[in-house]
Structure formats: structure tokens, C-alpha cells
Structure 1
């Protein structure tokens, strides 16, 4: 089949998902300046957006107060879009989210994205501590999304409950997902959709199909707009990238084992850290992880774009060494650069 009509990497935007990792021997206070330095770095490199995700009770992730961090990153940058990938809506009253993001959008107009998810972003016990009541298990997510959209709408001016600030502001809402549920809802509501293929690859293709098939134009969006998040560990050589990637594999091994830990340094070999079943499980979760030199990563990411035809790729680079992570995003930016004539 000819790829003459297929998208090239240089045809689409590239963005960043930063989990604000806490590395071994460091604290959250050390992680935040690194995230800001990364945001400034990728802003200069031409990345479109910089998102952070809400996680709780995780020793290695410092992004629990996501909206606070968005303000920190947006305040330290000037043009890159900053947002949530995502806010776990069942943990919050929709009015609180509308007010927080209304405040952010008032401070940084035209730069704030509100990505919403329906998972807790944590374990069940912590979810109970956050929510007090987890009986719904996310079934009321569509209702909560609509309530939030109402608060942000300019049509809500006569309501007895209003979001100030927030009402009438142009804050793009995104739905996030790792299954077909969010894909269908995003399609029906005419919202952009971001899929978490960096850790839940199994449903990617069917979710994209469901989203595109169910899409109905809205005021916010006339045509479907799909983003897929992938892991990328790029370095000057394949060998160096493979070495750096052992941090990513250790992080997901800890997820499989249920052992929380800060981000671990690279190791010479994963062989003595996992058994065959653990290795299989981690590799399944990390199917869309592109590791290697610029040439290797370019070939693999172009193949991914050929397969999915997504409108934008978001990249998570889970790396222990901050300078190596900056370099990884630098290499990646070159692959997405528009061809100059």
C-alpha cells in the first residue's frame, strides 16, 4: 500500500506529558524546577503543549496538586500551552475544577487546556480519602463533564450557581481515556480525545475508531482530533538509549509489583530484576515505547503514525538523568521539524 497520502511526523504537532517524577535521593522540591526547565526547553524547541497528570499516593510522582503545578509552569513560560493530562474528575466537584481552571485561564489567557479523566489516579483506599464516596466508580462521569461544561459556558449567567472566574472563558476541554468509554463520549460531545497508549496500548486502535465513528461536530470542534501518548527514550546512540530506558522498565515493574518507589537510575541489565511473566507484563504495557538513536526513533514513530493517523503525538520520557531527558526531547523535536524550502 502506498504511503503517499499518509501523514509525516513533520505534518503534526508534538507535545509533552510530564509526570513530574521524583528520582532516587531527591524530593518533590527538586522535581519542580526540573519540570519548569523542561517546559522552557521544549517551548523553545517548538512543542505545542505541556501537560501534567493527577496522581496520588505515589512516592515517585509529585503532580498530585495538578492545577497548582499548571500555574507554576504557565507562569514560567510564555507561549506553550499548559494543561492537565488529566484532572481526574471523580475526585473533584465540577464547580471547583471550573473555578481553578477559570483562574488559570484568566491568568494565562489562550494557553490553558483542561483534560479530564474518569479514573481515580490512585488506589481505592486513597480514592476513598479523596472522594469520601466512591460508590459511583465513574458512572456519573458524563453527568459531571456536562455540569463542568455548564459552569464554563456563557449561557450560565442566570444560574444561581456560577463559576467566577470561569464562566464564558474559552478553555478547551479534552477527554482522556484508555478504553472505548471515553472515546465514545468524546465523539458524542464533539471534544478532542487523548488516548493513554503510553501505558494502556491494548485498546488504542478500537478506541480511535470508536471516537472517529461517533464524532459529532460541536462549537469547540468541527472534526475529530485525536492525540496518542507514547513513551520515547531517545539518545545519540541505540546503546545509550537502551541503557537509559531501564529506568522506564523499572518504573513499570514497580507498577506490576505494586511497590511504590522513586524513579530508579539505569542498570546494566534488567535480567535479575524481573522474571519471565513480569517481563512479559511490562512489555505489554510498554508496547508503544520508542527507544533508540534519532534514526531508530524516527522510523518507529513514523510507523506508529502510519498505523494510527493521529492528529498529534504526546510524548512521555521517563528518565532518571535530567540532562539526558532534555537531550531526548531535543532529538525528538528535530524529527518533527517542518521541512524548510
Structure 2
């Protein structure tokens, strides 16, 4: 017993325990290293797989459907009799009617998209802050409405408010008129009405999403301090929700700029916008280089609006985070 409890024996036991602990630590370090290597290998495989997927999308999907047509469009706009030339752009901008077409496009865009944005924000505010029976159903309908083709809205307005539409005929019979009282659709009034009706729902959804992130305690605090409805809206709600409202408004402007179906159905000969002018140059005049030049100009305008939309949407997402 004295031998077992001697200092040499105790020292040997402690040395063996320390060696065992060191071996255990070494095994744990080896396991951690193996686990880290395994995770790193998995990450590398996932990275390579994502790169291959991206390459597949670029070559098999984006290449033939997006990249190649855009490259061909730009090359067609730069084609000339003796190679690359800016003759198509000179013809497009040198046409005396081009300035009027661009001016018409811009004022129709500002008027239609501006009214659609105001209507969309007002509808979103009504649905969120003043809910009524059936508000949820209206919201779902507005979400479904964005899936409709734009020309369907134009034809619906013709069937309702055209000179031979049901509402116009009903008013004529009700008031015993000699001619239908409504005759404004085929022109500026009809185009603006159809675009406002069709594109206002595109503003409602981002605005509702922005309202849903508001801290209602701030609104209640403002009201408790005596702020009336318009002051709360202007001083509290609008500064907090403006990124979502701005994103929806820019999206509305972008979609309205590229609108063609409503203009083709309701536009008259005196309302020629840039999409209609491009279509006319390609199909009526058979001047494909000039049409391509106009399409490139319109594409640059659309990409500028899209870049602004992405920036505002990114800022809105950063605010939500």
C-alpha cells in the first residue's frame, strides 16, 4: 500500500492522465479538422455546381432568348451599307417627327403613370388603414388583376364605355339622346384611362407591403399628441413608407413606358408613341435598322428606370432588415 501511494506512483499516474488528455485533444482536433475539410469540400462542390448551373442558364436559356436577340438588335441598329455605321441613329433622330413622338411618349407616360401611382397609393392606404367588409377580397382581386393582359382591359372599356358599349347605350336610352353620350375612348382619354386602370394595382402591392412594416406605435403616439390624419400621413407614414411607394411608382413608370397593347387598341393616328413608331417603322416602312435604333433608345430608357427601381428596392429591403 505504501508503494502504491508513493510519489513516484502518483507522478506516473498524473503523467498517464496528461498523456491521455493530450491524445484526446489531438483526436478532437483531428475530428474538427476533418469536419472542417469535409464542409469546405461540400462548399466547393456546391460552388462548382452553382457555377455550372449559371453557365447552363447563360448558354441554354439566356443566350438564345435574351443575349442573342439583344446583340442582334444592337448590331442591326449599327449596320450600314459599308459595315458598321450610325446612319440608322442619324435617320431616327434626324426625322422631324421623332421629337414629337418622344414628347408624346413622355407626357403620356407622366400623366398615366402619375395618376396610376396616386390611385394605387390611395387604394393601398384605404385598404390598410380603413379596412371595410370585403377589403381582403379586393386585395386578392388586385393581385389577380396584374396577371391580365393589358389589351383585355382596353377591350373591356370598349364594351362598357365605347360609343356602342353597354353603359353608353343605357345612358342614351335613359335620357332619350340622339347619339351615344360617351365617345372618348379612341384617343388620349381612352389610353390614359386604360393605363391608369391597368397599372394602378402594380403600385398597390408594394405600398401595402411597405405599410405592413410600419411601427403602429409611432402612429398612435403621433395621434395622441394631437396630430390629425393628414399630418400623420405626411410626417410619419410617408417618410417611413416612401421606399416601397417609390419602388412601386418606378415600376409603374417602367411598365407604362413599354406599354403597347393598349396603344394598339385605343390609340389613334394622332397618338403615336415610341413603341408604336418602332412598330410602324418595322412593319409599315420596312426600315429595320431605324426601328432597331429606336428600340435601342427605348431599351436604354427602360434599363435606366430599371436600375433606379433596383436601387430603391434595395434601399427598401435594407430598411426592412
TM-score of the alignment, normalized to the shorter chain, above 0.5:
no
Task: Please classify the TM superposition score into its range, dividing by the shorter chain length.
Answer: under 0.3
TM-score by length of 2: 0.25
More helix by percentage: 2
Q: Which has the bigger relative contact order, CA under 8 A and spacing at least 6? A: 2
More strand by percentage: 1
